[in-house]
């Protein structure tokens, strides 16, 4: 399915937001996800099913010092 992730069209397998994060090899504990212009709390990532044409913004936190 075709979705927009951080402004770029991507072809992904789909599923829930957790599935998409796994496909992108991102740890759900280290990101914030905006799904169609709404922030999704981490506990709800498995409840939202991504559809063709959806828009995601994923912000990945990086630790360091």
Is it the case that residue 61 has pLDDT exceeding 90?
A: no
14-28 per-residue burial string, b: 16 or more CB within 10 A, e: under 16: ebebbbbbeeeeeee
Measured in degrees and rounded to the nearest 5, phi and psi for residue 6 equal 50, 45
**Binning pLDDT at 50, 70 and 90, where does residue 64 land?**
confident
Average predicted confidence (pLDDT) for the chain: 95
Does residue 16 sit within a domain?
yes
Query: Looking at residue 62, what is its pLDDT?
Result: 76
Mean pLDDT across the stretch 10-26? Answer: 96
Does residue 42 sit within a domain?
yes
Does residue 13 sit within a domain?
yes
The widest CA-to-CA distance across the chain, in whole angstroms, is: 39
| pTM score, whole prediction | 0.90
Spatial distance between the Cα atoms of 21 and 23, rounded to a whole number of angstroms: 5
Q: How many domains does the chain have?
A: 1
Domain span at residue 13 reads 2-58
Q: Tokens representing 31?
A: 């990101």
């Amino acid at each position: 399915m075709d979705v927009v992730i951080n402004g770029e069209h991507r072809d992904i397998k789909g599923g829930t937001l957790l599935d998409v994060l796994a496909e992108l090899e991102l740890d759900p504990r280290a990101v914030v996800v905006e799904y169609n212009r709404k922030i999704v709390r981490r506990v709800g990532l498995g409840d939202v099913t991504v559809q063709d044409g959806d828009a995601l913004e994923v912000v990945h936190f990086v630790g360091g010092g």
